[in-house]
Amino acid sequence: MTIEKWKQCDAYVQGVSHVATGDPCQDRTATLTENGVMAIALADGAGSKKYSQFGAETACKTVCKLLCDRFDELILLCEESGDAGVDKRRKKKFVKTVLDEVRKALGAALRTDERIDKSATAADLSSTLLFFAMKGDLFIQGHIGDGVIGIWEGADPCVAEEASEPENGAQPNITFFVPDSDAAEHLRVSGSRISKGRWRNIYGVLLMSDGAADLLYEKSTKLFNANTRLLFENFRATSRDVYKTALEAFLNNTVKKFSDDDLSINLLFRESFSDEDMPRAPAYVDELLSGVYSKEQIVDLSADGKLIKHFAQYKKRDFANAAEVRKYLGW
């Protein structure tokens, strides 16, 4: 039998330039799994702003919570419908909802976060924002500023139609941030139902800051397949904690050779795990099956394959722990 499950891992590290000046890393990441939704986010704080790392942190956490709490409402506002694409009025409402929610949270941070000086303004919390959320075969994504959202399809990663590329201003080092007065014009959003045939061909989703993109992305050639593929493949049969350490080492030891900027990555990966793998990593099987409480979360893909929807909603609790799930699966 083969089990498939979506996994998540993220990392951010201080860039070479900030190591030299003693400034903190201004990139942040977040993930949240609630209400049948899995959401990830990444934000790159504006280098010129003193407290942008706290703005990035707030933006990531807030948008993940918003997506998990109001996914069904938001997908209706941004879902593409055939050749007509996204309705402009609904899309405008979606953009306003996201920006209003994040800006409200930034305002609260200015008032209550003891790490931020009381003289600071919203501009001091400026950051980009990238996010992706899925529920069943539906997804929502959004992006303001630079950085890249990529999709791994089939055997090789590529910038697919729902991926999002960086947006810069008049100069390459100028981009757009959540508190900007014209942010609504630059927050690019979309949502869709991925056909079952195509969904079976998607293996990963990758968010990266512009620092990480210095190695993994080039405007003319898009994502570099070899480097990006390894980010997903090295996650196979590896626990999240172990892989987080590996991602940090990759950013520190490899990507830093190509970029002076802060570096961050947040990714989702559809893991496949077979009977033959189980004896070699019993502890990992427990992690793979964690979060499974109902038979409704186990979906037949074939006679010998099942998908674990660990972020699905369920009506009845059938399992108390991973051992009971293993018994149910015949492991």
Residue extents of the structural domains in the chain:
2-288, 289-331
Q: Is 108 helix (H, G, I), strand (E, B) or coil?
A: helix
Least confident residue range of 94-103, 194-203, 223-232, 314-323: 194-203
- Dist CA 178 CA 175 (whole Å): 11
Examine the pLDDT at 171 and tell me if it is beyond 70: no
Examine the pLDDT at 127 and tell me if it is beyond 70: yes
15's torsion region: left (phi>0), alpha (psi -120 to 50) or beta?
A: beta
pLDDT, tens digit, for every residue of 22-40? 899 999 999 999 999 999 9
- Number of other residues whose CB lies within 10 A of the CB of residue 75: 20
pLDDT, tens digit, for every residue of 201-245? 788 899 999 999 888 887 766 666 667 888 988 998 899 999 999
Q: What is the CA radius of gyration of the chain?
A: 20
CB 142 within 8 A of CB 59: no
| Class of the CATH domain delimited by 2-288 | alpha beta
Nearest of 92, 8, 106, 114 to residue 60 by alpha carbon: 106
Examine the pLDDT at 180 and tell me if it is beyond 70: yes
**pLDDT for residue 159:** 42
Strands (E), 106-239: 129-135, 138-144, 148-153, 156-158, 188-193, 202-208, 217-218, 222-223
> Cα 225–226–228 angle (5° rounding)?
65
